[in-house]
Amino acid sequence: MLIKSISWAVAAAVVLASAQPAAAAPAKTAAIITPAEKAREARQSMLDTFTERKALYDSISAVTGIPWHHLAAVDQYERTLSIAHPKTRPLRDGLIAIHFTEYQWVGFLNPNPEDTNLASIRLFNGIGRDGDGDGRADRRSDADVLYSMAEFLLQHGTSAADFDIAVWAYYQNDRSVKRIRQFAKIYAAFGTLDLHRHSFILPLGSDYSYRSTWGAARSYGGYRIHEGTDLFAHHGVPVRSAAYGIVEVMGWNRYGGWRVGIRDLNNVYHYYAHLSGFNKKFKEGDIVKPGDVIGWVGSSGYGKPGTQGKFPPHLHYGLYRDNGLTEWSFDPYPHLRKWEREERKRRAKK
């Protein structure tokens, strides 16, 4: 064990991080709140949450030596698992989404599933630790939960390679290691948690059309459903990243032709297919942000590498959610409409 007794240092850091009192909210009038005001309030609430969460990451990082973006990546990965499995692991109520079961926390042979006593939890090899200095290991405490995960990770060392080993030891899954490494790279690149804005995937000023086509039948390559939305546009129209993410795949496949795959922080894979070409500025493993041009509309696919013109030029766009073990597609159409509206509103404000 590299660090055995630093809970009080964690507590001090947490206290310092939250020492500044929040500004008093202005008194609300009886006036009706407009949709725009509601949107601003929701945005500010989200930013406040990100600020508090980042302060906690920084506090635990300061006393454990684990980079904040590694802690953020584990926490965000856990959040995506809860979103994918809402019945079996509901999203934890609090700043931190790391999910420990009662018996993970207190120890599998512990007769008291609500145990918060540090000595008995250690006796039964529970993972629970005291992160806020109150002398208890409370699964309802954000600081305790995050510090407990940090201490588990520290058992395997402090280097980047050690971190990967620790993540594998916890999840027993190479897929989890890859995802958390990707998330950490994204957080490190931008230095913030505020990375959930989206852009529409084609320039708003271009000539395009689309409708809901997810689930329609397809016959090329055997019977299958259409796992995406087709956006028809002229050959060469720029194709843009919808989200902050990492380029996971860039190349050819039989169905999609020249295609790009981007993984975002919600563990959603964005699939862009039938491109005429790629933006050579990017390669696999690079970080992108909303609006970055990643390629251009084309008609590639349905054949060997380089096959073009089997259908009118268009962009096939798909979304796939990762549940930790596998992926499944879901309908992009409502999201495309939402991102299109949001971008139009942003442009109108300029």
Helix, strand, coil percentages, rounded to 5, for the chain: 35, 20, 45
**Average of per-residue pLDDT across 177-188:** 98
- Find the radius of gyration of the CA atoms of the chain: 23
Give the model's pLDDT for residue 24: 53
Give the model's pLDDT for residue 3: 43
Average pLDDT score over the chain: 90
Tokens 């230095």 belong to which residue? 191
| pLDDT tier for residue 199 given thresholds of 50, 70 and 90 | very high
Q: Please count the other Cβ atoms lying within 10 Å of the Cβ belonging to residue 235.
A: 14
Measuring CA to CA, which residue among 256, 225, 260, 258 is closest to residue 242? 260
Sign of the dihedral through C-alpha 113, 115, 121, 124: negative
Give the model's pLDDT for residue 213: 85
| pLDDT tier for residue 52 given thresholds of 50, 70 and 90 | very high
Q: Which two tokens stand for residue 57?
A: 């990451």
Sign of the dihedral through C-alpha 204, 209, 214, 217: negative
Report the distance separating Cα 262 and Cα 201, nearest Å: 12
Q: What is the per-residue pLDDT across 259-290, written as a single tens digit (0 to 9) for each?
A: 999 999 999 999 999 999 999 999 999 999 99
Q: What is the per-residue pLDDT across 237-263, written as a single tens digit (0 to 9) for each?
A: 999 999 999 999 999 999 899 999 999
Q: Please count the other Cβ atoms lying within 10 Å of the Cβ belonging to residue 282.
A: 19
| pLDDT tier for residue 150 given thresholds of 50, 70 and 90 | very high
Q: What is the per-residue pLDDT across 78-108, written as a single tens digit (0 to 9) for each?
A: 999 999 999 999 999 999 999 999 999 999 9
| pLDDT tier for residue 295 given thresholds of 50, 70 and 90 | very high
Q: What is the per-residue pLDDT across 318-341, written as a single tens digit (0 to 9) for each?
A: 999 999 889 999 999 999 999 999
Tokens 């990967």 belong to which residue? 164
Label residue 30 exposed, middle or buried (CB < 10 Å: 0-12, 13-18, 19+). exposed
Which residues share a beta bridge with 262?
Answer: 247, 270
Does this model's pTM top 0.85? My answer is yes
Q: What is the per-residue pLDDT across 5-37, written as a single tens digit (0 to 9) for each?
A: 455 454 445 444 444 444 555 555 556 888 778
- At residue 302's C-alpha, the angle toward residues 297 and 308, to 5°, is 50
Measuring CA to CA, which residue among 326, 318, 301 is closest to residue 201? 318
Question: Cα separations (Å) of 350 from 31, 41, 347?
Answer: 27, 20, 5
Give the model's pLDDT for residue 17: 47
pLDDT > 90 in the chain, percent: 77
H helix and E strand count, the chain: 9, 12
pLDDT > 70 in the chain, percent: 88
Q: Which residues contact 321 (CB under 8 A, 6 or more apart)?
A: 84, 267, 268, 269, 327, 328, 330
- Per DSSP, 300 falls in state B
**Average of per-residue pLDDT across 116-133:** 97
Q: Is the pLDDT of residue 221 over 70?
A: no
| pLDDT tier for residue 143 given thresholds of 50, 70 and 90 | very high
Q: Which two tokens stand for residue 196?
A: 């959930």
